[in-house]
A = this chain, B = another copy of it.
Amino acid sequence: MIVPSAKENNTVQPFTRGPSMRDVATAAGVSAQTISRVLNDHPNVQESTRRRVLAVVEELGYRRNNTARALVTGRSKTIGVLTLATNNFSKSALTLGVELGAREAGYTVNAVTSDLSVQGLTSAVGRLVLQGVDGIVIAAPLQGAADQVSKLTQRIPIINTDGSTSLGERVVGVDQDIAAVLATQHLLDLGHQTVWHVAGPQEWSDALARRNSWHRTLHDAGREAPPELEGDWSPESGYRNGLILGRKPEVTAIFVASDEMAFGVLRALTELGRRVPEDVSVVGIDDIDLAAYSNPPLTTVRQSFEDTGRRAVASIVAQIANPALVSTPDLVAPTLIVRGSTAPPPAAD
C-alpha cells in the first residue's frame, strides 16, 4: 500500500522544526525570557509588551515546545495509565475518565497496556517512567510485580484502581464489599434460598473482594455458600459457567462478578431453556451501557469507572502539587439497579 513518492527527497531532512522562542523574541524585539514570561502568565510584564509578544506569536504561528519545557522543569504534564491489553467496558471507561480528568487539570495521557505477567507489567511501567510521566494510574492487579514497579516509580506518584494495597500506594475506586452485598442481599430478599457466584479472576483484588463479600453475606444470613465458579471477565467465560450452573436444577439465583460475564450467563441459561427471571435470577456488576438492553434487561450494581478515573487523576494531581500529601483510600459506594433479570424464585414444587 505504500509506494515511494515521485519526487524523491534527496536532502536528508528528518524533520522540520517550527519557530522557536528565540525566533519570536527576535521578531518582537525582546529577549526569549520575556516570551517565556508572557506565555507563562508571569506578573510584571508590561501590557504593551505582552500584547506585542502575543501578536508575534500569533503571526508566526509559534507553539511552545513542551519537550524543552519538560526537560528544564522536570514536569511533562503527562499522566500515565496502565491497563490490561483487553477490550472490556470497565477498562475503557476508566481510561476515558482518566483522560477527561487529566485534560481538565491540564495534563495529557500516556496509555500503555500489558498482560498480567510480572515482566509485562514491569516493562509497561518502565515505558511510562521513561516517557517521563508525572504520575501513574494503574488499573491492573500488580501482584508479584509490585516490588519492581515500586522500585521504578520511587519518584513518581502512583495510584491503584484495583483496590489492591499491595504497593502501599493510594487507592481510588468503588467499594466492592458493598457492591457484592447489594447484589447478594437483593437476591436473598427476593426469597432465594442461596446465591451462586461466578467470580472474576481472583488475582484481581476487586474480584476477590466481591467473592469474599458475597460469601460473608450468605454466611451472615445463615445460608450455605455454594462452591463458586470463576471466569476471566469475558462473556465467553460467563457462557461456559452459565452452562454449568444452568444444568443444576437447584440454582435459582446467580451473582455474576461483571456484566459482560452476565451476558454470557444469560445466553447459556436461555439456550438451556431456563427462563430469566422466572426460573433463574441473574445480577451483574458494572452497569455497562448495554446492560439495559439485554433480554431481559440486566439487574446490576452500578459503579462508575469514569468517575473512578477522574478521581484517580485528581488524587495524582494533588500529590504532584504537594508530594508531602498522603491520602487514605477513597472508595465510593455503588448502587443497585433493578431491572428485569431478577425475580422471586419459582414456587417450590
Interface status of A91 (Cβ within 8 A of chain B) = yes
Contact B292 A235 (CB under 8 A): yes
The residue from B1, B67, B99, B112 contacting A76, defined by CB atoms under 8 A apart: B67
The residue from B66, B95, B295 contacting A295, defined by CB atoms under 8 A apart: B295
The residue from B93, B108, B110 contacting A87, defined by CB atoms under 8 A apart: B93
Interface status of A103 (Cβ within 8 A of chain B) = yes
Interface status of A145 (Cβ within 8 A of chain B) = no
Give the oligomeric copy count: 2
CB-defined contacts of A266 to chain B, threshold 8 Å: 293, 295
Contact B100 A63 (CB under 8 A): no
The residue from B17, B109, B264, B315 contacting A111, defined by CB atoms under 8 A apart: B109
The residue from B91, B96, B132, B239 contacting A65, defined by CB atoms under 8 A apart: B132
Whether A1 touches B328, Cβ cut-off 8 Å, given contacts A75-B15, A87-B96, A87-B306, is yes
A residues whose Cβ falls under 8 Å from a Cβ of B: 1-5, 7-9, 14-18, 61, 63-68, 70-71, 74-76, 78, 85-89, 91-93, 95-96, 99-100, 103, 108-113, 126-132, 151, 155, 234-236, 238-239, 260, 263-264, 266-267, 270, 289-290, 292-295, 297, 306, 315, 318-319, 322-330
